[in-house]
Amino acid sequence: MLTTDTSTGKGPRQRQPWLWLLIAVWLATAVSGLRIVWAYDNTPGVLARAPQRWPAASALTRTMGEPALVVFAHPQCPCTRASLGELGEVLARARRPLKTFVVFLKPASFEAGWEKTGLWAAAAQLPGAVAVRDDGGAEAHAFGVETSGQVLLYDAAGKLRFNGGITGSRGHAGDNPGRAALVALIGETPAARDGASVFGCPLFAAGS
Amino acid sequence: MMTSRRATELFEQYQQDIYKRTDRLFAGLMAFQWIAGIIFALWVSPLAWDGSVSRTHIHVWAAVFVGGAICLFPALLGLFRAGRPSTRYTIAIAQMLMGALLIHLTGGRIETHFHVFGSLAFLAFYRDWRVLVPATVVVALDHMLRGFFWPQSVYGVLVPSNWRWVEHAAWVIFEDVFLVMSCQRAIVEMRERADRTATLEHEVRTRQQAENVASLTAAVGLALTRGTELRAMLQHCADALMAHIQGGAARIWTYTDAGKVLELQATAGVGIDSAPHARDIPLGLGVIGAAAEARKPLVTHHPNRDLPAEQAQWMQQQGLVAFAAYPLLLDSKLVGAIAIYSTYEFSSSALDAMAAVADGMALGVNRKRAERELERYTRDIESAHDTQRRNAEQLATVVDQLRVMQREAEAATRAKSDFLASMSHELRTPLNAIILYSELLQEVAADNGQPASVPDLRRIQSAANHLLELINGILDLSKIEAGKMTLSLETFEVRSMVEAMLDTVKPLLQKNGNTLTVNYGEGLGTMRADLMKTRQILLNLLSNAGKFTHGGTIRLDVDGTTATGRSWVTFTVTDTGVGMTADERQKIFDPFTQADVTTTRKYGGTGLGLAIVARFCALMGGEVAVESRPGEGSRFTVLLPRQVAEPVPDAMAAGV
């Protein structure tokens, strides 16, 4: 063959404004979707209207003269795994064992054992923690709790010292103000706050 | 220069290959991430609960729809617009967005953050550091915006520093630095590889071109020996060219000065028949005609710039990128042109080869034309030779016939002359007796007192004299024709000879009332000739003049002259008689011929006088000429050598 120089066939780049417009629309769509997810995850649940003193209606038995920690959890709520993770962090930092009740809701409509999920098993392994079944949400009602992941700390005198969540957002583990405050209160050091937003599934359906 | 350009092409080709390959890789990765996100969401957070009521968790929907929105568009770009900058930039952004989503779906696990760093490393597969820029910008913006609006979701604290995002971005940039260095290193290596490959290609190409040039030259050389006709030979040449120009086309024209047109002889190559230029191209028309007229080749790798729009458009349609037109020249003489189209640019050696091929074709065209001319000349010569041979045969036949006829004629002439000589002799004897006896009877009659008988006897004597004169003339002619007439040369005074002759002829001239004038030139002197025949010449001319002139003037001019290195004596007899026409002048020197048939009856005579004059002149090496016009008279000029040579027998016979 006589001819040798290969042509690359490259031509001048054609401007395609429609493509860039399409990319902009795509980017806006993706960012909007992410924003919805972020907004959902950062929307807190209903904070408990917990009694200032240990409720007499509660079946939970606290040791008199010792503080007690009560954590409410929906056994099927995926967000609560992060709350139990943070709870484990809190208990690990406690200088002495702390009486802890992890109360798992069991609606009456479900059969026995429904509450025995992975969360139950995880809670049972926490040091000093006791997993408790809450049939029909009696304990939740007694403590005025409506959101899974809700943490209540009563001191040795039975007085409420902390009311809130211990995650930064739904299902997100990591440092957060609620956990930090709880750790401080358990250590009987000054805390920046006595509560925080709670993130988790509602324990009760709306209107129930 | 060419190697450098090729290296750049190869480098760009490598880059493009990597871009496309990585785009497709990311297309698959995008799909994988999307599906993985959905599976993960279904596994970790399939349902959200409101007490005893459950519903699909928003993370599942986010994985499906937001993940789909993020992944599908760049995946499609990667599949259908691979290699474009916009595609890889979009993929870079999408990869970072997907990282943000996955981190979210995994509950912000720190492990999932490695997706960001892994994605940056993955993006470095492009070997294009610029794709790291939009990825890094997305990460920085994500941290900055979420730091403002949901700081807990990204930093785990409610009130972070406003510049916390810079710290996070800095770690990303930290990785970017290494990735950019890696990309640059890879580009350098890719450039080196391209240089090595281009150099190798150049060496291989140079070797192949040398082989191809030799092969092409040999192929065209072989083609030039094939085909009995010019067109067939050029078609072989075009086919040979095509065998060496893959995907191209070629045309060959011949040119002759007569028509000023390049005539198409041969075509080869796909699509060439739809070429915009005409089959026959007037010299100077179009790029091919112009190249032929200028006697200079035209080569271009830029049809759009150098060729007419129609031709450039046709080349583009055919996928042709290079064009070359060569005049076929033989010592600056145009004998044709070739046009070559190629799907590849011509190398310098290819152009040298085509120039050599053009020279070879010019020689081939010229050779074929010479062969054609030679064939035509050969045919003409053979035809002429045949004609000549036939003519020679016919001529030989005619010559043979003429020889036979000549021999027969000579035999007949000799027989006639012999007959005439003998007959004249036999006739003269009784005629002399009649003349003498009639003269004697006149004297007797006069003496006896019978004068009445004298006129009749005189008529008898006159008729006998005329008959004798006729017989003497015939005898002289027959002698001349028989080659028996001899010359009796002697030296005599010209003027004396003329004056003696005038004494004899004067009465005859004056009989018709004519006046005779004689003029002699100075220094006439003598001449050596046959006296009797010279006298006979003058007597015949003067008696003729007297015979055909009535009441006019007859003049005799005698003079000497020199011509052709010899000395001559001229005798000119001029009369004011009846004269002659041109046809009559043609015949008067033939024996027994007078001006016309009525002349003999009107003027008498034998018709032998001028014939004898002509033959006597010829015998003595002279000549006689006549000028005459009807009604104005005639002029006879006799030119005789002053020294007449002894005649040879053949010359005497030939002089008749």
- The answer to whether the Cβ–Cβ distance between B246 and A203 falls below 8 Å is no
Half-sphere exposure in the Cβ direction for B61 (13 Å, CA)? 11
Which DSSP state fits A169?
A: B
pLDDT of residue B592: 64
Nearest to B224 by CA among B341, B338, B357, B337: B357
pLDDT of residue B155: 67
Measured distance CA(B327)–CA(B333) in Å, rounded? 10
CB contact set of B190 (below 8 Å; sequence gap of 6+): B11, B14, B15, B127
**Cβ–Cβ contact A136 with B under 8 A:** no
Which DSSP state fits B64?
A: I
- CA-based nearest residue in chain B for residue A32: B66
Of A38, A172, A205, the CB nearest to B51: A205
- Core vs surface per residue B488-519: b (16+ CB within 10 A) or e: ebeebebeebbeebbeebeeebeebebebeee
- The answer to whether the Cβ–Cβ distance between B51 and A26 falls below 8 Å is no
pLDDT of residue B134: 93
Measured distance CA(A202)–CA(B473) in Å, rounded? 177
CB contact set of B446 (below 8 Å; sequence gap of 6+): B454
Which DSSP state fits A76?
A: T
Measured distance CA(A3)–CA(B342) in Å, rounded? 8
Does ipTM come in above 0.90?
Answer: no
Helices (DSSP H) in A15-102: which residue ranges? 17-41, 80-93
Residue A183 in tokens? 């750790």
Of A38, A77, A175, the CB nearest to B153: A38
Of A22, A27, A171, the CB nearest to B107: A171
Of A10, A171, A204, the CB nearest to B45: A171
- The answer to whether the Cβ–Cβ distance between A7 and B53 falls below 8 Å is no
- Which of A4, A18, A199 would best serve as a mutation to test chain B binding (most B beta carbons within 10 A)? A4
Distances in Å between the Cα of A57 and the Cα atoms of A113, A138, A143 are 24, 9, 9
Nearest to B545 by CA among B582, B518, B583: B518
Contacts of B158 in chain A (CB under 8 A): 168, 176-177
- Which of B11, B47, B152, B207 would best serve as a mutation to test chain A binding (most A beta carbons within 10 A)? B152
End-to-end C-alpha distance for chain A, whole angstroms: 87
8 A C-beta contact, residue B255 and residue B292: yes
Half-sphere exposure in the Cβ direction for B372 (13 Å, CA)? 11
Contacts of B62 in chain A (CB under 8 A): 33, 36-37
pLDDT of residue B230: 86
Measured distance CA(A102)–CA(A69) in Å, rounded? 8
A126 — phi, psi (to 5°)? Answer: -70, 140
Of B12, B104, B205, the CB nearest to A8: B12
Contacts of A15 in chain B (CB under 8 A): none
pLDDT of residue B75: 95
SS3 labels along A116-131: CCHHHHHHHHCCCEEE
Residues 164-183 in A contacting B (C-alpha not used; CB under 8 Å): 168-169, 171-177
Q: Please return the burial class of B138, using the count of CB atoms within 10 Å of its CB with bins 0-12, 13-18 and 19+.
A: buried
Nearest to B554 by CA among B601, B588, B519: B519
Helix axis angle, B609-619 to B531-548, nearest 10°? 150
- The answer to whether the Cβ–Cβ distance between B9 and A6 falls below 8 Å is yes
Q: Please return the burial class of B13, using the count of CB atoms within 10 Å of its CB with bins 0-12, 13-18 and 19+.
A: middle
- Which of B1, B43, B49 would best serve as a mutation to test chain A binding (most A beta carbons within 10 A)? B49
End-to-end C-alpha distance for chain B, whole angstroms: 100
Measured distance CA(A27)–CA(A29) in Å, rounded? 5
8 A C-beta contact, residue B635 and residue B574: yes
Contacts of B69 in chain A (CB under 8 A): 26, 29-30, 33
Helix axis angle, B114-123 to B85-105, nearest 10°? 170
- The answer to whether the Cβ–Cβ distance between A1 and B107 falls below 8 Å is no
pLDDT of residue B656: 38
Measured distance CA(B112)–CA(B106) in Å, rounded? 7
**Cβ–Cβ contact A113 with B under 8 A:** no
- The answer to whether the Cβ–Cβ distance between A174 and B156 falls below 8 Å is yes
pTM above 0.90, yes or no: no
pLDDT of residue B472: 78
- The answer to whether the Cβ–Cβ distance between B156 and A16 falls below 8 Å is no
Could you list the pLDDT tens digit for every one of the 208 residues in chain A?
A: 444 333 344 444 566 788 889 999 999 999 999 889 888 888 999 999 999 999 989 999 888 889 999 999 999 999 899 999 999 999 998 888 899 999 999 998 898 889 999 999 999 999 889 999 999 999 999 999 999 999 999 999 999 999 999 998 888 888 888 999 999 999 888 888 899 999 999 999 876 5
**Cβ–Cβ contact A41 with B under 8 A:** yes
DSSP-assigned letters across all residues of B292-351: HHHT--EEES-HHHHS-HHHHHHHHHHT--EEEEEEEEETTEEEEEEEEEESSEEPHHHH
pLDDT digit string, tens, across residues A57-76: 999 988 888 999 999 999 99
- pLDDT < 70: residue spans in chain B: 1-2, 152-160, 209, 227, 246-247, 277-278, 417, 421, 482, 592-606, 647-656
